[in-house]
Structure formats: C-alpha cells, structure tokens
Amino acid sequence: MIAVLDFGGQYTHLIARRLRDLHVPVRLFAHDVPAAEIAGVQGIVFSGGPSSVYASNAPRPDSKVFDLGIPILGLCYGHQFIANHFGGKVERATREYGERELDVVKAEGVLDGLHPKEKVWYSHGDSVLVLPSGFEVLAKSGDSIAAYAKGSIYGLQFHPEVHHTPCGNAVLQNFAFTICKAKKTPGTFSKDALIAEMRQRVGSQNVVIGVSGGVDSTVAAFLLRQAVGKKLFPIYVDTGLMRKNETREIQEFFNDFDHFVFVDASKEFLYALKGVSDPEKKRKIIGHLFVETFEKAAQSVPDVGYLAQGTIFSDRVESAAAGGKATSKIKSHHNLTLPEKMKWKVLEPLAELYKDEVRQLGKQLGVPEAILKRHPFPGPGLAINVVGEVTPDKLHAVREADYIFIDELRKAGWYDRMFEAFAAILPVRTVGVKGDERSYEYPIVLRAVESKDVMTADWVRLPPELLQKVASRILGEVEGVNRVFYDISQKPPATIRYE
C-alpha cells in the first residue's frame, strides 16, 4: 500500500485516484500522521498544498517518517518541504501556473523513460532554488529545480497526478512499481457493491433526493432506484436559474419514476437575490432558500430517513470537505451545506467517484446517453453565470446566449468533444453601435474547456469561424448585449467558472 499524506492541496485526492487507476492499494492520511502508523506501507507521497514551507505555521509531517527507510515522493509543497527540511533553499520565485516545459536532466528514478522535453502542469509560487547536500537535480524548469532525488527520496515541483501532465502516469508508475515495488490489485468501483451497500444502509426507510437533470444527481437517483425501489422520492426545485427548456426536460424525464415531486420556486429565488452582487452571498442565499424549499416539499413524504445527494469527489475537494484538509477553499455549494440544515442522515453514493467514473456507472445503470453526455451545471445555476447582481434582463440574456452557444456546438459536432461549455455575462457595460445608433450594453463571455477530473482544465481551441457564427447569433438575437469574448484561461490559475 502507498500512503498519501495530505498537506491541504486541492489535488490530494487526485493523487490517490491516479494510483487507484493503476490498481495500487492507496490510503489517505493527515500530514501529521505518526510515523509508526504508516511504518508498514511500501511508499509515501507528500501532497501539494497552499502553504509556504518557510512560514511559521507551515504543515509538517512527523520527522520520524524520514527514518522509516520507505520511498518518499514529494509533490509541489511536498517537494519544497523535503528540500527545506534537509537544508535546501526555498523562496518565493516566478509563479508558474498551467502548462510548462520540463527540461529533463537525468531520465532516471521517477523520471525513467521520459523525453528530454516534456509538457507538465504547474501551480506554485515558491520554488526550490538550492538543493540540500547529497541531492541531485533530475529536471529543471527555467531557473528553478523541477525534480530531484537522493536515494529513494524524490521531489517534483510539477503535478504528475493531473490529466494535463501527459507523462504523469509514467512518473507514478515508476514510483509505485519500480521504486516502491507495489503489487497490482483488482480495483475500481463495483455497481453491484454500491447497490448492495445502499440497500443495506437504507433498510425500510424512505429516501429523498434533490435532482437537477445533471449527470451526478441523475446517476445517484438511478442507483438508488435500483437499490431501494419505491422508497425513493426525487424532488426537483425550479429555482428560475435553470438553462433554457431545462425544467420541461427534467419533468418529462423524471415522471418515469414512481414518486416525483416538482416545486416551482422561481419567483422566490429571484426576489431573494435582488440587489446581491457578492458571489459567496449569492451561493449562500440560494443554498439556504433551496434547503427551506426542499424541506417543505419533503414534508409530504412519509418516513424519510435519508437525504441522498449526488456529491462527487471533486465537489468535496474544491469545497474543502474532503478529509477536512483542503485548507484553501475554492467554492461553496448548496448540496454540501444541506446536511447542516436537515434532520435526516446523509447518503452520498457517489462520494468516492470522479466525474468520468460517475459516467461509467451511469452507463452500467442504463442512464440515457443524452443525460450522461450533458455538460456539468452547478447547483446555483445561471446565478453564477451572471457575474454580479442577478437581474431578470441579465438572466434572460445569459440564458439565451448560453442556449445559442450550446446549440451551435452541437450542430458543429463539438459539444461531445469537450468537458464543459457555457456563456456568462459580465457586470460592466460598453459602448457599441446597433443599427446606426449608439448602444451601451453588456458583454457575453464564452467559455469552453476540456478536463478529465475538474481539478485542472484547458481551453478548447474552437475554430474561428464557429466562434464568429456563435457571436453573430448572440449579437443579433439577444437583447442587451453588444460584445462577445472567448475565454482562453487555463485552470489554474483561473477556475472553470467565474463565481
């Protein structure tokens, strides 16, 4: 087994996921786990994290970990910590985010088999500038040391665990199998095991679940329908923040379930958001009102024992809920605050899965392809596609622009080739000309990204002629808009969405 020590990084669970994909037994531990508790593992990984190793409150592992004689791989913060611990020099340096080129000095150890130049993914502000005595450089990136080794201790400044490091799997394989001598075991999730687990946990009580028509909640509902049958009650709350035609499509889809509860609360949500611009306040307002509305609807369901949610691993990590160690919080989300407001026990059948695994499970469960291929859509809906205050006119504009963008992507065969695409509206107005008259209207931003696990993302290189067609339709058909931009930011440093 390989132990992953969590130093608060957003990618910590992704390290475990990648090793699990290699069929390597893996377990996550707090960064300060006593060395005696992990003395029997075959390898140890120090995760990344948002702290600086030279800060007084920087997280540190049990120093006796280094006395165990077990191979250690430090990633990002872990890389910096090891160097600093043994007397190297770590300082704030040129920040590196997103794709960079790695210069491989020695293709050995964890870098065995790599080419002299490799594309890798960075997300850091500090760098190792001077190595401790006895350590040797394996790779560089500009002036900073990108990889080093001393015996069976290795450090990497880049993130091999993310999808956007093409050589990442080779690096992890080198560490797990060549250096740690780990043995492969049959792995991955089991549909039948999940169904059996849910059936046993629920027993004779009823289950309510909020559904949105998205992949996660739909797959969770399908799984639970097979597990508990008529004891499942899907509840759909129309917040008025859904995409065009979505409410009608969701009603038609879930009417096939034995018990489907529909609530139109669109007026209440728009009223509650009036005058609110701060993104976290918007999320909290939506979350609290959703809880109240959902709870009222659930009162009509007898003998409720469980609240089921479609929470997946990336939701928990980005909301600082995974293992309680993700100290740098990126976003909050209403499905993660529900348990604090409700008296039922929480059921999260997909909590250990990533998006691609959820889609695999959905296919096994018979979820229609049209649902499984849908792009992600956050709980707060179009409220976070409207940057700033949510007003009826901006909400209408972004809904129409989003519909046009997705429609053209589907027609051109691009929709299924990307992870997510959407339109957002910015809280500024610019001068334009429409029909020989001066206009003072809002800009629309189009965003299309490719990602495997949400933890990193790159922008999609759409053909200029397609973007021009989308922009022409938006400017011609959507009131209140006079500019269209295309976002080419990577994650990190940007996030996929704007709020």
pLDDT in tens, 236-263: 999 999 999 999 999 988 988 999 999 9
User: What does the pLDDT look like over 299-349, one tens digit per residue?
Assistant: 889 999 999 998 886 565 444 333 444 434 434 444 444 445 557 898 999
To the nearest 5 percent, what fractions of the chain are helix, strand and coil? 35, 25, 40
pLDDT score, position 396: 97
Does 348 participate in catalysis according to the annotation?
Answer: no
| Among 443, 446, 451, residue whose Cα is nearest residue 418 | 451
Going along the chain from its start, the domains and CATH numbers come out as: 2-179 (3.40.50.880), 191-372 (3.40.50.620), 385-486 (3.30.300.10)
**C-alpha span between 69 and 66 (Å, rounded):** 7
pLDDT score, position 47: 92
pLDDT score, position 112: 95
Element (H, E) at 178: none
- The catalytic position among 96, 118, 161, 400 is 161
Q: Which residue has the higher pLDDT, 390 or 315?
A: 390
Does 161 participate in catalysis according to the annotation?
Answer: yes
Residue 217's Cβ-side half-sphere holds a number of Cα atoms within 13 Å equal to 23
Q: What percent of the chain has pLDDT over 90?
A: 62
Residue 33, pLDDT above cutoff 60: yes
Residue 280: phi and psi, rounded to 5, are -70, -35
Q: Which residue has the higher pLDDT, 141 or 476?
A: 476
- The catalytic position among 76, 164, 357, 499 is 76
- Under the banding of pLDDT at 50, 70 and 90, the label for residue 378 is confident
| Six-digit token string for 147 | 């990889």
Residue 141, pLDDT above cutoff 90: no
- The catalytic position among 159, 163, 164, 333 is 159
Residue 443, pLDDT above cutoff 50: yes
Cβ count near 361 (within 10 Å): 22
pLDDT score, position 341: 52
- In our burial notation (b when 16+ CB lie closer than 10 A, e otherwise), range 303-319 reads ebbbbbbbbbbbbbbbb
Does 389 participate in catalysis according to the annotation?
Answer: no
Q: Looking at residue 52, what DSSP letter applies?
A: -
User: What does the pLDDT look like over 269-293, one tens digit per residue?
Assistant: 999 999 999 999 999 999 999 989 9
pLDDT score, position 324: 41
Residue 152, pLDDT above cutoff 50: yes
Q: Which residue has the higher pLDDT, 453 or 114?
A: 114
**C-alpha span between 336 and 311 (Å, rounded):** 8
Residue 492, pLDDT above cutoff 90: no
Q: What percent of the chain has pLDDT over 70?
A: 92
Q: Which residue has the higher pLDDT, 324 or 484?
A: 484
pLDDT score, position 26: 87
Tell me the pTM.
0.69
